[in-house]
Structure 1
Amino acid sequence: MKELTTKIERAVSEAVPKLRSLPEPEFSRKESPLKWSKKETLGHLVDSAQNNIQRFVRSQYKTTPTLVYDQNEWVRLQNYEHYPTEELLPLWVVLNKHLCRVLEAIPADDLYKTCNVGKELAEEHTLLFLAEDYLSHLRHHLSQIVE
């Protein structure tokens, strides 16, 4: 797990200077009303960290809990479009540091416990899969923001 958390921490630390260098108009610009701005995408990554922390913790003491979220509603209701960048960026960094601490604390046997993330139909995944998927998801959205 340490290798995975090192990759998450590296992705975050490498992205921070790039995110800080984005001019606010570019960071907040929406290409269309139906698409997220770069800032809203970062807000989505905040939500992803929060929801996955819940999955990693609850799945260790509950049998296959169901933890789903409506990403569009989370982004809209938390008003990331108008969230101050100087507050959003450190929040994202700290949540990822915490998520890595949570992952490192999971006993090896618990990595095979499952969580249901399906909205309509059951979609059960191991914590190991969810942790690896978290990194892929993080990298995907960071590439959308900074490249």
Structure 2
Amino acid sequence: MKTSDLSKLQYYIDSLPSKLNAFTEEEFAHKTAPDKWSKKELVGHLIDSATNNHHRFVRGQFEANPVISYAQNEWVLATSYQQMSQELVIDTWKMYNTFLLNLICTISPEILDKHMANGHTLSFLFADYVSHLEHHLEQIFEDFDFKA
């Protein structure tokens, strides 16, 4: 696994909460269109991503081909992030990502680099997770330039 992916996630855990809290509740919950996610819902989607990747990172250690998928729009709607407080959404994102970073750091290099039946390694899945996070940060922050 690339140390840079670990460093990036640690950087985001350390820096994002204050940047997200700089938005007013109105800005954080604003939807540009009824069928578009607000910043709050985007962060909620990132919580859902953390939840599902938690399963991948754990089950990938002992299952040859863990099949984990989710209907992202339905998850965001069913979880009702838009009705939650800004503080709860941000704190939950930070907590879950701190947990995932700790989890990834405890997996042996041999397991991280073992190929699953789908051809991916846990290292690849973690790098993909960080890349997915960055993709959505670019949607949340118009001037996204704080990559680690």
When normalised by structure 1's length, the TM-score is 0.88
Deviations 1:25-57 (A, max 9, x none): 111011111110000000001111111111000
Change (3 A) 1:141 1:115: farther
Residue 69 of structure 2 corresponds to 68
Classify the secondary structure of the residue corresponding to 1:128.
Answer: helix
Classify the secondary structure of the residue corresponding to 2:69.
Answer: coil
- In structure 1, distance between residues paired with 2:120 and 2:81: 29
Equivalent of 2:125 in 105, 122, 130? 130
Which moved further from structure 2: 103-112 or 32-41?
Answer: 103-112
Residue-pair matches, total: 141
Change (3 A) 1:28 1:114: farther
Residue 37 of structure 1 corresponds to 38
Letter in structure 1 aligned against 2:102: R
Residue 145 of structure 2 corresponds to none
- In structure 2, distance between residues paired with 1:76 and 1:125: 30
- In structure 2, distance between residues paired with 1:57 and 1:21: 34
* Equivalences for residues 20-35 of structure 1 within 5 A: 20-35=21-36
Q: Which has the higher strand share?
A: 1
- In structure 2, distance between residues paired with 1:38 and 1:55: 25
Residue 141 of structure 1 corresponds to 136
Classify the secondary structure of the residue corresponding to 1:48.
Answer: helix
Letter in structure 2 aligned against 1:140: H
How far 1:111 moved relative to its partner?
1.6
Would the aligned equivalents of 1:5 and 1:100 in 2 still touch at CA under 8 Å?
A: yes
Change (3 A) 1:38 1:114: farther
Residue 6 of structure 2 corresponds to 5
Letter in structure 2 aligned against 1:129: F
- In structure 2, distance between residues paired with 1:135 and 1:50: 14
How far 1:106 moved relative to its partner?
1.2
Residue 93 of structure 2 corresponds to 92
How far 1:143 moved relative to its partner?
2.1
Fraction of identical pairs, as percent: 42
Would the aligned equivalents of 1:55 and 1:115 in 2 still touch at CA under 8 Å?
A: no
RMSD between aligned alpha carbons? 1.6
Change (3 A) 1:114 1:45: farther
Letter in structure 2 aligned against 1:11: Y
